[in-house]
Amino acid sequence: MSEVQALADVHALLRLSEQSPAWAILRAQNAPVILSVLGNVFPVGNQQLAGTEVMLAADPVLADIREQTGLDLPRSTPAYVNEWVKAGFLVRRSPQGTREEFYELSPDTLGALEYVRQLASPQRSVTRSRLSTLTGRLSNLAVETDPDEATVLKRLEEEKARLQARIDRVREQGAEAITDDEAVEKTREVLALVADLPTDFARVRDDVEQLDRGLRASILEEQISAGEVLDNVFRGVDLISDSEAGKAFNGFYELLFDREQSAQLDATLAAVLSRGFIDRLSADERTQLRGLVQTLESSSDDVHDSMTGLSRSLHRFVQSREAESQQALASAINQAQQLALKTGQVMSDPSRSIGVELELTTRQPRSLSTWRLHDPADYRITADMDVHEPTEIDLAAMRERIRESEIDWAELHESINYALTRQAEPSISEVLGHRPATQGLASVVGLITLAHRFGERSEGTEHLHWVGADGRQLRARYACHRFPDPVSTPRSIHERHH
């Protein structure tokens, strides 16, 4: 049985080593650098920082590490941050209503940091305080799970007798406090529990987000209907808050922010901080103890806000019919993928013609390397304008200039009608074959306009040829249109300017 269990453990650990960011960060080549930078940038643990704050905090730390250690860290700070996000060491969020991104440590990174800190500063494995905590919790568990009324009453009577004996002893001899060593020991046990809270909060938040993603995926995959979720919303059922992770956190949150419990916690903490043994703690330990309540409240507020936001977002998702549109989109994508798979099985040769001609769009993609910054100074006119003396107007030159600036529609109408005398239903390309484009691209554009007005769309595309202003032969592919009937000829440019 042990061999089977060992084999199962190996497979489980192999999978974990491939998927766990905590495992990945510990075996990374620059693991000391990553943990050092993240631990200094996020000293509180589960806090959220704006992207600019992260870059400003991480950049000098990386620079100091390069200078002091000589480690090879060739990338920039943003490049390392992006790499850590992709690896799962950092979580990047874009809250609604804000333009800036926010970063926080992932639960796996918090666990890795805590493990390394324990290696660097190991706690004593066996202490009187820890043993007392263990036996006390075990005793409470035995009492709370005992169904025998007689046994429970007997233990309560014994506890009552012990309390009465202690009361009598205090009245006779006065209060006897524990030693400073024992007090410091108990305080460090409390701080050890507090150190685990950032990881716990992060895991709760991660569990809630995974639940939200799972619910949305189930709706899109139609494993559960949006109507079912919507019914739960109207009945006041919050699927996220009612989950196991949600219930566990809500219990903690309600207890922490209960007015009576909160006041008692503040008073207890103030009393502990007033004791003399506090001076024997390190400065960091005293700071952690003083900020205990603030840390608990701010961390739990973040998780509570996240849960509330996800619940509202899920409600909007099903109430706004967005789920139905997403389902339709997912269904269309799946159908397209299935058709592509079937086509790929039939059309194994990528160069084989499939008998379908796709029309190209008018938008032409260009490489970013061809883009240049616009400099307004390039278009600023600094020289004075030359003043020319008026001269006599050359009518022939004016007509030629007008012809260059306007499309000669009369000529194009004549070209179409001429092509109709030569063949039936000529296309744009065939019209140009009989009468070339005398105005270059302008003639081609004019024929396309007339084709949409007087012609008929036919199947396929064709090449249109013309001569550019520089004398080069040019061509373009365009949808095939044919002219079935003659077109009326308007007045020419020459006639309009006589």
All domains of the chain in start order, with CATH: 15-120 (1.10.10.10), 196-340 (no CATH), 402-496 (no CATH)
**What's the pLDDT score for residue 229?**
60
pLDDT of 497: 45
pLDDT of residue 494: 47
The whole model's pTM is what?
0.49
CB neighbourhood size of 281 (10 A): 17
Contact of 27 with 18, CB cutoff 8 Å? no
Helices 180-220 & 292-319, crossing angle to 10 degrees? 10
pLDDT value of residue 348: 66
Q: Give whole-number Cα distances, 197 to 46, 82, 192, 193, 281, in Å.
A: 9, 26, 9, 7, 20
What pLDDT does residue 1 have?
A: 47
- Cα dihedral 392, 393, 394, 398, rounded to 10, equals 160
Burial class (CB in 10 A: 0-12, 13-18, 19+), 434: middle
What is the crossing angle of helices 180-220 and 226-234, to 10°?
130
Q: Provide the residue-wise pLDDT of the chain in tens; the chain has 498 residues.
A: 467 777 777 878 888 888 888 888 888 888 899 989 998 888 876 678 888 899 998 998 888 888 888 888 888 889 999 999 998 889 888 876 677 888 988 888 888 888 888 787 766 555 666 667 777 777 777 777 878 888 878 888 888 888 888 888 878 887 777 788 888 888 888 887 777 777 777 777 777 777 777 777 777 776 666 556 656 554 544 666 677 767 777 777 777 777 888 888 888 888 888 888 888 888 888 888 888 777 777 777 777 777 777 777 777 776 767 777 777 888 888 888 888 888 777 776 767 776 777 776 666 777 777 888 888 777 776 677 777 666 565 556 555 655 555 778 888 888 899 999 888 999 999 999 888 888 888 888 888 888 888 888 888 888 888 888 778 888 888 889 999 888 876 655 444 444
Residue 245 CB coordination number (10 Å):
20
Residue 149, both tokens: 């009324």
Would you say 88 and 106 are in contact if contact means Cβ atoms under 8 Å apart?
Answer: yes
Angle between helices 180-220 and 107-120 (to 10 degrees): 160
Instruction: Give the model's pLDDT for residue 483.
Output: 92
